[in-house]
Amino acid sequence: MRDGYAITAAAAIGLSAAALTLSAGTARAQPIQGPYISLGAGLHVPNTPKATPYGPGWGTGRVEMNQNFGFNANLALGYGIGNGFRFEIEGDFLRSTLRSVGGTPFPTAGSGTVRTWGAMANMLYDLDIGSPWVFPYLGVGAGYQWTKLNTLSAIQPGGPFAFGTDGQAGTFAWQAIAGASFPIPNMPGLSITADYRFMDILGGEKFYGPLQASANGPVTTGALKMHNQYNNEVVIGVRYALFVPPPPVPATPPAPPAPTAARTFMVFFDWDKATLTDRARQIVKEAAQSSTQVQYTRIEVNGYTDTSGTPQYNKGLSIRRAEAVASELVRNGVPKTAIAIQGFGETHLLVPTGPNVREPQNRRVEIIINS
């Protein structure tokens, strides 16, 4: 990774701050609430840092520490406050190897490892984009990082140049984070995470150790001052929110109420009559009292005749019988507007007969109370 591809500290800080401000103002927050723990690991891509060696025969020229890709790991404990914001303390570890030292007038092969570890305080914001399967997040962090140059050395093949140091130093650092979490179905609180992190170790560390200007020259104790170390991290991990209650079991909807059967009362008439007998008036009174005991929607009063007489005559007789019963219902307190009157003549026989048969069971009015 070349210096020309490095993101400057000012630009990255501004971008992160703007993104957090915009997301907090426009997005719906994922309500992560309470404590959580996360663990991740991935690819460490260090940009080429510059360093200045101080010692006899070195002057103050800068050299480039060309490193191979390495790996990273982190562990964080955090707390979500329920409105999308999360705060966490993170411990991290980065490791890469030295490939070569640049900035010298001759090629120089390198060896040894560069190890970095420290603690960061992060603030993150989870975004709800309307999908239950992915929740993007943005964050910034600041903290302190220690760097260990472990048996770092560089030698000019076949030449007189040699360099070596072995030291440890620390300084302040900041980072920007962008990633997404992917909740695992049927496992409340558990998510897979994937994010990119840009960490800037601000520089200024001095590593004291042996410095050798040439392979045959004297070994002296000097210092190597490291300038900004830019690190790119791709991290895959898991996050577990503690104390997340299981999803509520859907309530079983109440069974619909069983339909109430209609109540029917029958009033019988003498042959060719539409007047009410005493027994008929008693039945109508019972029907009126029954209507006050239920929440009815309609009261039907249907008149019928037997088959004696002509159909036209019987039609009119059945209507007069229904009207007589309806009037008695009104007299007993039933609202007239709740009554529907119909006459069916000699149709719908209760007792099937042939024509011109005087059947008492067919000379009737049915009072039907629908509730």
pLDDT tens column, 3-56: 443 444 444 444 444 444 444 444 444 567 899 999 999 999 998 888 887 766
Alpha carbon distance 262, 19 (integer Å): 67
Looking at the structure, tell me whether residues 21 and 93 fall in a common domain.
Answer: yes
**Domain tally, the chain:** 2
Range in 124-128, 217-221, 238-242, 250-254 with the lowest mean pLDDT:
217-221
Residues paired with residue 209 on neighbouring β-strands, in sequence order: 222
Looking at the structure, tell me whether residues 202 and 308 fall in a common domain.
Answer: no
Asked, for residue 249, whether it belongs to a domain, the answer is no
- What distances in angstroms separate CA 223 from CA 48, 62, 248, 275, 322, one per listed residue? 19, 13, 63, 126, 117
If one compares 6 and 327, the residue with the highest pLDDT of the two is 327
Asked, for residue 256, whether it belongs to a domain, the answer is no
- Mean model confidence pLDDT for the chain: 82
Phi and psi based region of residue 313 (left: phi greater than 0; alpha: psi -120 to 50; beta: remaining): alpha
Is the CB of residue 214 less than 8 Å from the CB of residue 164? no
Looking at the structure, tell me whether residues 162 and 229 fall in a common domain.
Answer: yes
Residue 212's pLDDT is what? Answer: 59
pLDDT above 60: residue 359: yes
- Can you tell me whether residue 309 is helix, strand or coil? coil
Q: What number is the average pLDDT over the span 275-288?
A: 92
Alpha carbon distance 81, 125 (integer Å): 10
Asked, for residue 301, whether it belongs to a domain, the answer is yes
Asked, for residue 114, whether it belongs to a domain, the answer is yes
Asked, for residue 150, whether it belongs to a domain, the answer is yes
CATH code of the domain containing 148: 2.40.160.20
Q: Which domain holds residue 157?
A: 3-241
pLDDT above 60: residue 267: yes
Kindly give the interhelix angle for 311-331 and 278-291, rounded to the nearest 10 degrees. Answer: 60
User: The whole model's pTM is what?
Assistant: 0.59
Looking at the structure, tell me whether residues 229 and 285 fall in a common domain.
Answer: no
Which tokens sit at 310?
């002509």
Is the CB of residue 210 less than 8 Å from the CB of residue 165? yes
Looking at the structure, tell me whether residues 10 and 121 fall in a common domain.
Answer: yes
Alpha carbon distance 189, 289 (integer Å): 62
Looking at the structure, tell me whether residues 121 and 82 fall in a common domain.
Answer: yes
Residue ranges with strand state E in the chain: 28-29, 33-46, 50-54, 63-67, 70-81, 85-102, 109-128, 135-155, 162-183, 190-201, 206-212, 219-226, 229-241, 263-268, 298-303, 339-343, 364-370
Band of residue 160 on the pLDDT scale cut at 50, 70, 90:
low
pLDDT digits over 79-98, tens only? Answer: 999 888 999 999 999 999 88
pLDDT above 70: residue 290: yes
Q: Nearest 5 degrees, angle CA 263-CA 264-CA 266?
A: 160
CATH code of the domain containing 271: 3.30.1330.60
Looking at the structure, tell me whether residues 72 and 201 fall in a common domain.
Answer: yes
Classify residue 269 by burial, with Cβ atoms within 10 Å: 0-12, 13-18, 19+.
buried
pLDDT above 60: residue 209: yes
Residue 82's pLDDT is what? Answer: 82
Asked, for residue 258, whether it belongs to a domain, the answer is no
- Can you tell me whether residue 284 is helix, strand or coil? helix
Looking at the structure, tell me whether residues 121 and 204 fall in a common domain.
Answer: yes
Asked, for residue 252, whether it belongs to a domain, the answer is no
Which helix or strand (DSSP H or E) is residue 39 part of? strand 33-46
Phi, psi of 289 (to 5 degrees): -65, -40
In terms of DSSP bridges, do strands 219-226 and 50-54 run parallel, antiparallel, or are they unpaired?
antiparallel
Residue 152: how many other CB atoms lie within 10 Å: 24
Measure the CA dihedral 275/281/284/285, to 10°. 150
Residue at a domain's end among 190, 211, 241? 241
Q: What number is the average pLDDT over the span 116-123?
A: 96
Looking at the structure, tell me whether residues 277 and 235 fall in a common domain.
Answer: no
- Using CA of residue 157, residue 160, residue 163, residue 164, what is the dihedral sign? positive
Residue 37: how many other CB atoms lie within 10 Å: 14
At 87, which amino acid appears? F
Band of residue 206 on the pLDDT scale cut at 50, 70, 90:
confident
Band of residue 128 on the pLDDT scale cut at 50, 70, 90:
confident
Residue 117's pLDDT is what? Answer: 95
Which tokens sit at 71?
């790996």
Which tokens sit at 182?
């992917």
Residue 24's pLDDT is what? Answer: 42
Asked, for residue 365, whether it belongs to a domain, the answer is yes
Which tokens sit at 251?
């309530």
Looking at the structure, tell me whether residues 206 and 352 fall in a common domain.
Answer: no
Looking at the structure, tell me whether residues 46 and 181 fall in a common domain.
Answer: yes
- Using CA of residue 290, residue 294, residue 300, residue 305, what is the dihedral sign? negative
Alpha carbon distance 327, 147 (integer Å): 104
Looking at the structure, tell me whether residues 227 and 291 fall in a common domain.
Answer: no
Q: What number is the average pLDDT over the span 319-340?
A: 91
